Amino acid sequence: MKKILIVGATSAMAEACARLWAQQGDHLFLAARNAQQLQSLAADLQTRGATKVGTRVFDANQHDQHAALLAEATQTLGGLDTVLIAHGTLTDQDRAQHDVPYALAEIGTNGLSVVALLTLVANQLEQQGRGAIAVISSVAGDRGRQSNYVYGSAKAMVSAFTSGLRQRLAKKGVHVVTVKPGFVDTPMTAHLPKGPLWAKPEQVAKDISQAIDKGRSIVYTPGFWQLIMLIIKTIPEFVFVKLKL
């Protein structure tokens, strides 16, 4: 039985993970900004088999609230061994190119708030000598592209941070998973046209859960994105600048 904290619990991918874990009878603590959605999700998870569900209304951009979240989750669950960090926003690239405060706010939400929270989570799990941390980054962080480089730069920060954190904590009994989804059909992407490269949140959730259980370090989801991004990363710069990606 896992004792799991889910940050950004009402996002589609996090909800799908929570449903998988509820069916296993795990203890769950949900943190998100919308109180009504939190309560609805908590009730749903209890009917699916979760043995304990706690909630906290939480804005990850309020860094001074991070320690209180961890303390409450640990107390409610009677310990903490798994953390999924899944909060974030989908940046409007065109607006970010012209609105500096907006661009910085997006980097703060998708990058800096994750770093701040991860620092506290890592220290707690390191001290207890066991645990797993899964962090949702993105394939967008593998190479800056004109279509989403503000969002991608924040995710690149997350990927680099989790890489270093994984190396540090591997010696301490704590496992860190960097999750790199491609296109996922969620309410946040509802306005975008869909195609064959798009995945459902349930598929991503299975990949995340399996990556935690199997001790994987980096998981592209769906898996074909690993090959796609390998190709994109190896395109020579003089060719890359001429492309529209």
Report, as residue numbers or ranges, the catalytic residues.
151
Provide the token pair at 150.
């503000």
Within the chain, how many helices (H) and strands (E) appear? Answer: 10, 7
222 CB neighbour count, 10 Å cutoff: 18
Q: In Å, how far are 152, 229, 244 from 147, measured between CA atoms?
A: 9, 15, 8
Q: Vertex 174, ends 168 and 175: CA angle to 5°?
A: 90
Q: Which two tokens stand for residue 38?
A: 């939190």
Helix (H) or strand (E) holding 103: helix 100-107
Give the Cα separation of 161 and 113 in Å (integer): 12
SS3 226: helix
Q: How many Å from the N-terminal Cα to the C-terminal Cα in the chain? A: 43
Question: Phi, psi at residue 233, to the nearest 5°?
Answer: -70, -25
CB of 20 closer than 8 Å to CB of 208:
no
